[in-house]
């Protein structure tokens, strides 16, 4: 799978650790930055990752900021994006199974790094369940128009 990653200054270290872990697991990565402690604006990185996923240049996106909240608000402004801010592996699994989320948003200041790795695994390995959930996802997609 091809995965676009983005982070701000609060999340770049965890983002880099996740990039190493998914690369080791055999995934292809598009790293959209940032890569250091200089203060940056999370909407810039959310937009780049969201447009990469919505445009078909990556299968999924993963965004890390302090809480994951700003990244999710910004990414969800891009048509075609279903970004889920999750706090544990069960939410990361369910956002795929029920919501067909294509971007996972993580909070480096609120989630333990080892839990974050489990969440990414759940997000990447869980398929959308379809069925009744497809109708609901279709209604969300209609809101993009």
- Catalytic positions are 65, 98
The residue (of 10 and 93) whose beta carbon lies closer to ligand RB5 is 10
CB 18 within 8 A of CB 105: no
Q: 61: closest CA among 11, 8, 123, 113?
A: 123
Strand ranges across the sheet with 2-7: 28-31, 2-7, 60-65, 103-107, 83-85
Q: 16: closest CA among 106, 133, 145?
A: 106
Q: How far is the CB of 34 from ligand RB5 (least distance, A)?
A: 11
The residue (of 10 and 116) whose beta carbon lies closer to ligand RB5 is 10
Q: How far is the CB of 123 from ligand RB5 (least distance, A)?
A: 19
- Is 12 near ligand RB5 (CB under 6 A)? no
Stretch touching ligand RB5 by CB under 6 A, among 17-25, 59-67, 84-92, 93-101: 59-67
73-132: which residues touch ligand RB5 (CB under 6 A)? none
Q: 109: closest CA among 5, 10, 9?
A: 10
- Is 70 near ligand RB5 (CB under 6 A)? yes
Token digits of residue 6: 């983005």
- Is 10 near ligand RB5 (CB under 6 A)? yes
């Amino acid at each position: 799978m091809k995965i676009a990653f983005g982070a701000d200054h609060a999340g770049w270290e965890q983002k880099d650790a996740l990039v190493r872990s998914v690369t080791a697991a055999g995934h292809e990565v598009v790293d959209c930055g940032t890569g250091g402690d200089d203060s940056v604006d999370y909407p810039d990185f959310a937009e780049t990752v969201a447009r990469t996923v919505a445009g078909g240049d990556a299968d999924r996106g993963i965004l890390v900021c302090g809480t994951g909240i700003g990244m999710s608000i910004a990414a969800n402004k891009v048509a075609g994006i279903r970004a889920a801010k999750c706090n544990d592996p069960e939410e990361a699994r369910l956002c795929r199974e029920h919501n067909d989320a294509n971007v996972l948003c993580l909070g480096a200041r609120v989630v333990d790094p080892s839990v974050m790795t489990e969440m990414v695994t759940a997000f990447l390995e869980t398929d959308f369940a379809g069925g009744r959930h497809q109708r609901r996802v279709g209604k969300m997609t209609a809101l993009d128009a």
